[in-house]
């Protein structure tokens, strides 16, 4: 149980790790990896239901997809040109899950392996959830005045593979992220 407690403390550190790509826009206080993973997981569930795939598998992939960033931090695409993040992430994940040998560690490892290979429909949905969450965040930052965030939304179009993801992105890119609370004031 001590190893499990340490793993949970490490996962908690993701609340402090900032998503670094937004620094390129001049955003000094972007969301954390934990915040990204939270909405990504919710998106994963919704997309899994829309695409009629195993929601539990998609949720697992979305929930754990960035856990390695507690050790590597979040590296934006420019930094990733010089560092093999996939190799480093795999090494970190192996080390993180080693103390959790057995059903918990094996289940997490299997989910992440499936996500990496991108051979199952669930893994494709989970990858779309990750991209779509980033596009949603970009739209929110664009409305807040970071105009170049539109680039993240545009690049998402080429990455999404599920029909429900593509439809949702077409709505997101033209929506006011604040509309939900503005309506409540009326």
User: What is the tens place of the pLDDT at every residue in 35-64?
Assistant: 999 999 999 999 999 999 999 999 999 999
Instruction: Name the maximum alpha-carbon separation found in the chain.
Output: 54
Q: Which residues pair with 18 in a beta bridge?
A: 32
| pTM of the predicted model as reported, rounded to 2 decimal places | 0.94
Calpha distance 163→165 (Å, rounded): 5
Query: Considering only 101-105, 134-138, 141-145, which range has the smallest mean pLDDT?
Result: 101-105
- CATH homologous superfamily of 2-185 equals Hypothetical protein af1432 (1.10.3210.10)
Calpha distance 128→49 (Å, rounded): 13
Nearest in space to 20 (alpha carbons), one of 70, 91, 77: 77
Spans of all domains in the chain: 2-185
């Amino acid at each position: 149980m001590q190893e499990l407690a340490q793993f949970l403390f490490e996962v908690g550190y993701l609340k402090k790790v900032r998503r670094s790509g937004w620094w390129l826009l001049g955003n000094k206080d972007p969301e954390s990896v934990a915040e990204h993973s939270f909405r990504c997981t919710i998106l994963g569930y919704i997309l899994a239901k829309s695409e009629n795939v195993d929601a539990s598998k998609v949720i697992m992939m979305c929930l754990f997809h960035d856990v390695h960033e507690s050790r590597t931090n979040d590296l934006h695409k420019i930094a990733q040109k010089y560092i093999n993040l996939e190799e480093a992430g795999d090494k970190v994940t192996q080390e993180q899950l080693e103390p959790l040998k057995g059903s918990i560690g094996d289940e997490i490892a299997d989910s992440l392996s499936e996500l990496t290979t991108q051979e199952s429909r669930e893994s494709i949905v989970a990858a779309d959830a990750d991209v779509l969450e980033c596009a949603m965040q970009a739209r929110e930052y664009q409305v807040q005045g970071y105009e170049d965030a539109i680039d993240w939304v545009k690049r998402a179009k080429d990455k999404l593979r599920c029909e429900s993801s593509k439809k949702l992105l077409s709505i997101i890119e033209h929506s006011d992220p604040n509309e939900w609370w503005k309506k409540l004031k009326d």
